[in-house]
Amino acid sequence: MFFKKKIIVTEEMKQTLQSFDEIPWASCCGIPYKKESYYSYIQETSQASVEKILKHTMNYSDTVCLVNLFKEGISRADAFILQTAGWRFYQNTFLPCVKASWLAYEKRIMKGQGLDLNLVEKNFLNYYGFDNAIGLHLSRLLQYLLVEQYFRGSFPQFPLFFSQIMLMQSAVRKGGFFHKIFFKSPVALNYHDSTGLIL
């Protein structure tokens, strides 16, 4: 019989949770963004184009849709742990960390100490008149960002997919939406210091 490891939320993870509350969500829409990025991006200027791109649920031409972008990041983490540490570690440590990261986010909301990212998404979509069925996946981004932070110390080669989306030098408050393959933005797609398709 194997026991699942109790996951302790680290100080760095707590700081990340708090930093998401401090992002001025959707405050940079329409502002040109010309910073260096780990991933290549194209900034969209048309609101109609932004909505059309965000509605996609399948990849097309040389663009990866938002849903598949997140699936890719999650798959990289899963595959790395399975190949490096094995199935037992995946079941007993990795999956409990994924769950603990989500619970840490939810507890802050329930206690009124954190920002509800689902509400941020809804307000953004309503403000710009976008289809409410569009999912921006902000809470999922935060969850897996916390997972990366947790395992980075134990596994220096752990894939930092979401951290690299968030990391844009020190421009933590720039944003918009991302087109092309990845996005970084503290805007409706306000992924901390991201950018992308800007309205």
Number of structural domains the chain divides into: 1
Whether 135 is covered by a domain: the verdict is yes
Q: What is the pLDDT of residues 35-73, one digit of tens each?
A: 777 777 777 878 888 888 888 888 888 778 888 989 999
Whether 15 is covered by a domain: the verdict is no
Mean pLDDT over residues 2-27, rounded? 83
Alpha helical stretches, state H, 64-166:
66-84, 87-89, 95-110, 117-128, 138-152, 161-166
Whether 86 is covered by a domain: the verdict is yes
Whether 192 is covered by a domain: the verdict is no
- Structural tokens at position 138: 């902000």
Q: What is the pLDDT of residues 87-126, one digit of tens each?
A: 999 999 999 999 999 999 999 999 999 999 999 999 999 9
Whether 181 is covered by a domain: the verdict is no
Whether 48 is covered by a domain: the verdict is yes
- The range of the structural domain enclosing residue 73 comes to 26-166
Whether 66 is covered by a domain: the verdict is yes
Whether 18 is covered by a domain: the verdict is no
